[in-house]
Structure 1
Amino acid sequence: MTSAAVAQATSALEDLPQDDDGPVFREPWEAQAFAMALSLHERGLFTWNEWAAALADEIKIAQAGGDPDTGTTYYRHWLATLEKLVAAKGVATLETQHRYRDAWDHAADRTPHGKPIELKPEDFRPHA
């Protein structure tokens, strides 16, 4: 992530949690989701205006479903938006994304703490 890309994202996305130093994240996965969106934007998958509109739609849907909008779920909406845009742009279907998410969960479950997680073919098989 370049500082110019981060600056562009923070100026284009008004609701992005940030302080004087830039975006703030409560957990590492939030920073990773932010970095993925930045990377896909830099590759031309979507404009920041397109992203902001899709994120606003996702937040409205969540609020209509009872999300209390306390700020703690912002990056969950960010991730859901990322998944939907990746599918809409034909990069990977939601089914494929969920398949990899589930495989990653299985791989993480069998990996000792502190060790790198490695996806293996068996992680993609249905588990009971």
Structure 2
Amino acid sequence: MQIDPELAKINIPRDEEGPVFEEPWQAQAFALTVKLHEAKQFTWGEWAEIFGAEIAADTAAGNGVGNTAYYLCWLAALEKIVAKKELLTPDQLKRRKAEWQVAADHTPHGQPITLEKTPE
């Protein structure tokens, strides 16, 4: 797999085989960010600016450290760049977040969460 040189600059927990995530949602947030970048929805420079601001704000607020805090910042940055680029309306983003929460609540522990599992 060819790694984008700009992506390689992002500090991502890794082992010899590639990125390491503590929770599936972290991998999903990471993958979604990469896919949006590949679809040319934003540049890595734009991403780095927003993500860096999230980390700086989190640090200034004295919030936690570690993988979970890192990916909570990642997720917040992803939501902000989606809003900034108007990839979804605020209502669409709110609805999608609610759909994922319902799906997560109805998915057995350890199973992948998919929107298809959302009850009607």
TM-score by length of 1: 0.75
CA contact (8 A) 1:12 1:48 kept: no
Aligned pair count? 115
Gaps of 5+ in 1: 123-128
Tell me, which stretches of 5 or more residues in structure 2 are unaligned? none
Find the counterpart in structure 2 of residue 92 from structure 1: 88
* Mapped pair 1:83 → 2:79: yes
Q: Is the 8 A contact 1:58 1:80 kept in 2?
A: yes
Bigger relative CO (Cα 8 Å, ≥ 6 apart): 2
Query: Using the alignment, how far apart are the partners of 1:20 and 1:89 within structure 2?
Result: 34
Is 1:83–1:94's contact at 8 Å kept on the other side of the alignment?
Answer: no
Q: Percent identity?
A: 40
How far off is 1:54 after superposition? 1.2
Query: Are 1:10 and 1:22, in contact at CA under 8 Å, matched by a contact in 2?
Result: no
Counting only pairs closer than 5 Å after superposition, residues 28-67 of structure 1 correspond to structure 2 as 28-67=24-63
Aligned residue identity for 2:8: S
Deviation above 4 Å: which 4+ runs of structure 1? 114-117
- One of 88, 92, 101 as aligned partner of 1:105: 101
